[in-house]
């Protein structure tokens, strides 16, 4: 499982020109699953994300988590995180989990995150337009293995 974490001042996701998810201060997560991922990968990354200290404290040092700043999460499914372009110029997605299994894990991931913070999300498999105001910019890549 791979998650791109971006600290955000405000972000939104639209489908068919309608906003389906929107946050103010918080994190935007681009979430991808590979064929071997399971609930243990989700548990590991949920714990890592909610405790990741990438928000500034009163001294301007990144020392606070999303829990400390009462932030929100915008979660976006992103199978292309497992694109393999080592051969040729057209990426292969053979390492990405099939959509039925990935959809279930994505919902489980968001549900577990929502036990800690407010979670907005895109629509799985939809053609989404994502608007991100990256704060910093701060972008962290997390992987479960």
User: Does the active-site annotation cover 109?
Assistant: no
User: Does the active-site annotation cover 33?
Assistant: no
Query: Of 6, 33, 78, 109, which is the active-site residue?
Result: 78
Query: Of 35, 36, 80, 111, which is the active-site residue?
Result: 80
Query: Of 6, 79, 111, 139, which is the active-site residue?
Result: 79
User: Does the active-site annotation cover 80?
Assistant: yes
Cis peptide before 137 (omega within 30 of 0): yes
> What is the distance between the alpha carbons of residues 77 and 55, in angstroms, rounded to a whole number?
23
Q: Judging by beta carbons within 10 Å of its beta carbon (0-12, 13-18, 19+), is residue 33 exposed, middle or buried? A: buried
Q: Tell me the CA distances in angstroms from 117 to 59, 79, 138, one per residue in order.
A: 24, 24, 20
Q: Which residues are catalytic?
A: 78-80
């Amino acid at each position: 499982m791979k998650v791109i974490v971006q600290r955000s001042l405000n972000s939104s996701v639209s489908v068919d020109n309608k906003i389906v998810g929107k946050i103010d201060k918080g994190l935007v997560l681009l979430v991808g699953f590979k064929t071997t991922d399971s609930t243990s990968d989700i548990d590991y990354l949920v714990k890592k994300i909610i405790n990741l200290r990438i928000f500034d404290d009163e001294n301007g040092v990144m020392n606070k988590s999303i829990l400390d700043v009462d932030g929100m999460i915008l979660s976006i499914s992103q199978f292309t995180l497992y694109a393999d372009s080592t051969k040729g110029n057209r990426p292969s997605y053979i390492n990405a989990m099939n959509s039925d299994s990935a959809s279930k894990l994505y919902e489980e991931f968001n549900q577990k995150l929502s036990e800690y913070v407010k979670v907005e999300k895109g629509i799985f498999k939809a053609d989404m337009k994502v608007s991100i105001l990256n704060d910093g910019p701060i972008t962290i890549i997390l992987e479960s293995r």
